[in-house]
Amino acid sequence: MSIYNRMARITIALLLTCSSAMAELPSELKDVVFTGDLNARSSVDFRKNARNVVSHIPEGSKGSVLEARKLKSTGSYGIKIKVTELGKGKTTAKVGDEVWVYYAQKDPWLSFTDKNDEDVEDPEEALVAKARRDGEGIPVPGTVAKPELPTQEEVLKQQKSEDPNLAKSTDKTKTEASFCDNCTEFKKAAPEIQNQQDIKDVRDAVTATAPKEKTDKTKTVAKKNTKAGKWANFPEVVNFSEGKTTAKTISYARRNKSRHSTGYCYKAVKRAHLASGAIKKYPPGVHAKDAVRDLKRLGMINMLDNPTYRSMIKSPDDAPKGAVIVYATSDVRQSGDTQIKTDWGSSGTYVSDFETPNNFLKSPKARRFANNGKPYKIIGVMIKP
Quote the pLDDT of residue 18: 42
What's this model's pTM, rounded to 2 decimal places? Answer: 0.79
The upper half-sphere exposure of residue 288, i.e. CA atoms within 13 Å in the direction of its Cβ, equals: 31
Is the four-CA dihedral 170, 172, 173, 177 of positive or negative sign? positive
Is the four-CA dihedral 135, 71, 46, 64 of positive or negative sign? positive
φ/ψ (deg, to 5) at 76: -90, -170
Quote the pLDDT of residue 379: 98
Q: Which CATH number fits domain 226-383: 2.60.40.3880, 3.30.1490.390, 3.30.930.10, 3.90.1720.10?
A: 3.90.1720.10
Contact predicate 155/271, CB 8 Å? yes
Report the alpha-carbon distance of residue 20 to residue 109 in Å, rounded. Answer: 34
Quote the pLDDT of residue 205: 37
Per residue of the chain (385 residues), what is the pLDDT tens digit?
Answer: 555 555 555 454 444 444 333 334 566 899 999 998 999 999 999 877 788 999 989 999 999 999 999 998 889 999 999 999 999 988 999 999 999 999 998 888 999 998 888 889 999 999 999 999 998 877 788 899 899 999 999 999 887 676 766 654 445 556 676 544 444 444 444 433 333 333 333 333 334 344 444 555 444 444 567 788 999 999 999 999 999 999 999 999 999 998 888 889 999 999 999 999 999 999 999 999 999 999 999 999 999 999 999 999 999 999 999 999 999 999 988 999 999 999 999 989 999 999 999 999 999 999 999 999 999 999 999 999 8
Of 203, 247, 351, 120, which is closest to residue 359 (Cα–Cα)? 351
Contact predicate 111/263, CB 8 Å? yes
Report the alpha-carbon distance of residue 213 to residue 242 in Å, rounded. Answer: 17
Is the four-CA dihedral 139, 140, 144, 147 of positive or negative sign? negative
Domain boundaries of the chain, sorted by first residue? 29-189, 226-383
Quote the pLDDT of residue 164: 65
Quote the pLDDT of residue 136: 80
Quote the pLDDT of residue 220: 45
Give the 3-state secondary structure of the chain: CCHHHHHHHHHHHHHHHHHHHHHCCCCCEEEEEECCCEEEECCCCCCCCCCCEEEEECCCCEEEEEEEEEECCCCCEEEEEEEEECCCCCCCCCCCCEEEEEECCCCCCEEEEECCCCEECCCHHHHHHHHHHHHCCCCCCCEECCCCCCCHHHHHHHHHCCCCCCCCCCCCCCCHHHHCCCCCCCCCCCCCCCCCCCHHHHCCCCCCCCCCCCCCCCCCCCCCCHHHHHHHHCHHHHHHHCCHHHHHHHHHHHHCCECCCCCCHHHHHHHHHHHHCCCCCCCCCCCHHHHHHHHHHCCCEEHHHCHHHHHHCCCHHHCCCCCEEEEECCCCCCCCEEEEECCCCCCCCEECCEEECCCHHHCHHHHHHHHCCCCCEEEEEEECC
Q: b/e map of 257-287 (b: 16 or more CB within 10 Å)? A: beeeebbbbbbbbbbbbbbbbbbeebbbbbb
